[in-house]
Structure 1
């Protein structure tokens, strides 16, 4: 069902990808879909964002921020993500419970880990204190805008530029 959803999202877009279409494409019944997912937004979110990615966190603060920027650019460059984000955001705006499930599933751990890394970097004098949520928002927002709005084609260069900008705003000046 997740593979069918990913394919349909790229072929038809978010609005035209319905639960009925996903079920028929996957060769299952509509009730079978709803036994696993309570809404189209929940199914699509799991299809689009199956996990936090294959890259292990870096020990070095600078390397970790760079890894997060690269990961965000790669994520938004995925055609399934690009096609899904506008509709998914609209659906999630009206479903507060689903937003909480998604936040807990995908973002809460990453934001908590980033807060710990910032704290350690502040303690060692590498970084000044910044809010982890704001830093994560800057990375995700910058990556989304670069890929989905500006349509950058060189993902590696865009990730490097984003990381450089973020780090120069976070690192202490000697």
Structure 2
């Protein structure tokens, strides 16, 4: 059933505030279409039709399909680690579980392959997308800094590379063995590797 068409002024006016109802309708339409037809088949025209608006309205808000899809797939950018500070093991498990939960959502699973391909070909787009996670990366840095000060983490651990390891492990599991992501075992296994490494160190 076609959505009720929202009223959109086709002649943009500088400084005019965006209508949040149109934003919400567009993002909801993009998310629904991603799950239904996939990234490759999704077009700005199909999103506009489903949302009951115009392509002009979409392009005023998002410069490309990739930017629209990113916001539709990640509507809320995480800005903090929810576990209480003071336990780096709990922090790591929370980071891994959060990454798993985000990547396995139906919308993100449908969006990721095409979104990654577009970002790899457009460094400016990649930079704008990753900038949405600045606050989360800052939270990881703060937790690692606190853990170093408590003697729980060795100095020099790069928080950006920690994020890369968690995200990369999650993405690879999603592509190769998605069934392993169900349940707590996968989170525990990845956390154990990050916390303890893979080399046996003889007791001194």
Cα deviation code 1:21-67 (max 9, x no counterpart): 01101111000011111111110000001123498532122211110
Aligned partner of 1:101 in structure 2 is 128
Deviation string, structure 1 residues 111-134 (Cα, Å, up to 9, x no partner): 222122212211211111311111
TM-score by length of 1: 0.89
Greater helix proportion? 1
Q: For residues 91 and 106 of structure 2, what CA distance do their matches in structure 1 show?
A: 25
Aligned to 1:166: 194
Distance 1:70 1:97, change over 3 A: same
CA distance in 2, matches of 1:63, 1:52: 21
User: Where do 5+ consecutive residues of structure 2 fail to align?
Assistant: 1-25
Q: Is the 8 A contact 1:19 1:40 kept in 2?
A: yes
Match of 2:137 among 93, 98, 111: 111
C-alpha distance in 2, partners of 1:143/1:44?
20
CA contact (8 A) 1:77 1:148 kept: no
Of 157-166 and 48-57, more deviation after overlay is shown by 48-57
User: How many pairs align?
Assistant: 171
Aligned to 2:105: 78
Q: Which runs of 5+ in 1 are unaligned?
A: none
Following superposition, which runs of at least 4 residues in structure 1 exceed 3 angstroms of deviation?
Answer: 52-56
- The aligned runs of 1:15-54 (5 Å cut-off) are 15-53=40-78
Say whether 1:142 aligns with 2:151: no
Distance 1:23 1:79 in 2: 21
Contact 2:34 2:107 in 1 (8 A): yes
Instruction: For residue 14 of structure 1, report the CA deviation from its aligned partner.
Output: 0.5
Match of 2:15 in 1: none
Contact 2:67 2:125 survives alignment (8 Å) = yes
CA RMSD, 1 decimal: 2.1
